[in-house]
């Protein structure tokens, strides 16, 4: 039986996928070593609003003893009134190794692009420590401390290349049929502390019929020095369904 599940959704607005990495990391595999979620989202509207949006996303985790591997990829393409207004994608690879029950090492690599943020290509690689601050049956709080080196290809401006710090806090509240998660990232330029990026994401995932979930997520991002002509703050609200394996 194939583990690739396709599902189709209709949206009123351009949204992006809720991929709950923290919930996935803490999932009890019960004898399995692979878990994840894969989907396709389609939005096609005609009439007062003429819009097409196609989105593909996948999030997978493979566990082998004290090690786990995460693979995440997404792609979004959209048009409004026959004019292209969305074209972005990313691939993220992450390896995590458990040193103790509360301390983990991580290395990661990410490649992404976003045409409408004037980003032709961003490549980064780095690593760090992941620390368990608190955990019980229903709640957990983790922090991360690390760094990465990135190189960007931007339209209409110089192409930056610099190291950045990578700090995060990740909270998860999990019950049998739902979970709530929030993650806060701060990524300062280590060569210029006035250049920083913030990202806060919070979401609710409600499970039904075994493998299906109803998902609602809000994300806000702020880049203190975005490419020329791009706003510093970007916020999005996403809602949808998913199928997990």
**pLDDT, tens only, 14-68:** 333 334 577 777 776 666 788 887 777 666 666 666 778 787 878 899 998 899 9
Choose among 35, 62, 60, 74: nearest CA to 211. 35
pLDDT mean over 207-220? 81
**CA 202, CA 171: separation in Å to the nearest integer?**
9
Read off the pLDDT of residues 77-132 as tens digits, 9 standing for 90 and up: 888 888 888 899 999 999 999 999 999 999 999 999 998 888 999 999 999 999 99
Instruction: Provide the mean pLDDT of the chain.
Output: 82
Residue tagged 């029950």 (tokens): 101
Question: Which residue in this structure is represented by tokens 């009890």?
Answer: 28
Report which of 153, 143, 141 is spatially closest to residue 112, judged by C-alpha positions: 153
Rounded to whole angstroms, the Cα distance separating 196 from 166 reads 10
- Give the whole-angstrom CA distance, residue 148 versus residue 30: 34
> In the prediction, which pLDDT does 81 show?
81
3-state helix, strand, coil in the chain (%, to 5): 5, 70, 30
Instruction: Say if residues 203 and 220 touch (Cβ distance below 8 Å).
Output: no
How is residue 190 annotated by DSSP? T
């Amino acid at each position: 039986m194939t583990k690739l599940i396709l599902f189709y959704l209709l949206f009123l607005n351009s949204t992006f996928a809720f991929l709950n990495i923290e919930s996935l990391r803490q999932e009890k595999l019960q004898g399995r070593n692979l878990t994840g979620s894969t989907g396709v989202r389609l939005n096609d509207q005609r009439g007062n609003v003429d819009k097409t949006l196609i989105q593909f996303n996948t999030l997978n985790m493979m566990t082998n003893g004290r090690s786990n591997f995460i693979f995440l990829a997404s792609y979004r393409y959209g048009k409004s009134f026959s004019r292209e207004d969305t074209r972005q994608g990313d691939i993220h690879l992450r390896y995590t190794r458990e040193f103790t029950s509360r301390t983990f090492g991580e290395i990661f690599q990410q490649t992404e692009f976003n045409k409408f943020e004037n980003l032709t290509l961003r490549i980064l690689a780095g690593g760090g420590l992941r620390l368990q601050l608190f955990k019980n049956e229903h709640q957990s709080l983790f922090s991360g401390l690390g760094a990465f080196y990135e190189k960007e290809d931007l339209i209409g401006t110089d192409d930056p290349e610099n190291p950045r710090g990578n700090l995060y806090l990740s909270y998860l509240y999990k019950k049998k049929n739902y979970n709530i998660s929030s993650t806060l990232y701060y990524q300062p330029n280590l060569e210029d502390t006035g250049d920083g990026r913030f990202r806060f994401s919070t979401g609710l995932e409600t499970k039904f019929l075994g493998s299906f979930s109803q998902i609602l997520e809000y994300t806000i991002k702020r880049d203190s020095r975005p490419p020329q002509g791009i706003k510093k703050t970007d916020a999005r609200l996403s809602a949808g369904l998913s199928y997990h394996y």
